[in-house]
Structure 1
C-alpha cells in the first residue's frame, strides 16, 4: 500500500516536475518534504488541500489511495422538494401557531440585536 508521500511523489512524476520545483511552488521546505518521505510527519490538512488542488487530484486518493472518479455522485431525477409542477414545496405541513410565534419572536430578537449593534458602532465613532 502506498503512503501519502508515495502518492504525492507519483503526482510529481506524472506532472514531469522535480521534487525541488514542487516544493518551491507550494512553499514546502525540503526538510518537511524529507520528513514526509521518512514517515516522520505527514502534510497538514491545509497543505493536503493545496496539493490536491495543485494536481487536480482528489483528497481521498492522496490520503487513502481510493480512486473516487468512478464513484462520483450524480443528481437523481427524483423530485426532492419539488412537486411535478416544478414549484418549490419544501413545507410538508403547515406551521403550528407555536412555531409561528417562535419565528416572529426570533425575528424581533434579531432586529433588537441589530439595532443594539448599530447603536454600539455609532457610539464608538
Structure 2
C-alpha cells in the first residue's frame, strides 16, 4: 500500500518541483517535507490541507490514493444497522433516518416538478 509520503513525493516530482521549491511555495521547511516523503513523520491535518490545496487534489486522494466516494443505500435495513450516526452527539434513530430519507425524496420530487 502506497503511503502518504510516497504519494506526496510522486505528485511533487510530477510537478517538477524540488524539495526546496515545494517547501518554499507552501511555507514549510525542506526537512519537514523530506520527513513526510520518507515516512519519518506523519503530516498534520493542517499540512495535509495545505498540500492538497497547493496541488489541487482532494485530501482523500492524498491520504488514500483514491478519491473515495461511498454510496450507501439507506433503504436497506442491513446498512442502517451497520452504521452509527449522531447529530449533536445524540444517536439518530432509524425512525429519524427514515424521516430524513423521506424528506430528501419529497424535496427532489418537488424540485423536479418545478423544473418542468
Is the structural similarity TM-score above 0.5?
Answer: yes
Return structure 1 stretches of 4+ with deviation > 4 angstroms.
none
Structure 1 residues 58 and 31: alpha-carbon distance in aligned structure 2, compared to 1, 3 A threshold: same
TM-score, normalization: structure 1? 0.54
Q: Which runs of 5+ in 1 are unaligned?
A: 88-125
More RCO (CA 8 Å, sep 6+): 2
Distance 1:52 1:60 in 2: 9
Deviations 1:39-80 (A, max 9, x none): 231111111111111111111111111244xx599xxxx865
Q: Which runs of 5+ in 2 are unaligned?
A: 72-103
Structure 1 equivalent of residue 49 of structure 2: 49
What secondary structure is seen at the aligned counterpart in 2 of 1:33? Answer: helix
What secondary structure is seen at the aligned counterpart in 1 of 2:114? Answer: coil
Distance 1:45 1:80 in 2: 38
Distance 1:58 1:2 in 2: 16
TM-score, normalization: structure 2? 0.57
Distance 1:29 1:61 in 2: 23
The aligned length equals 81
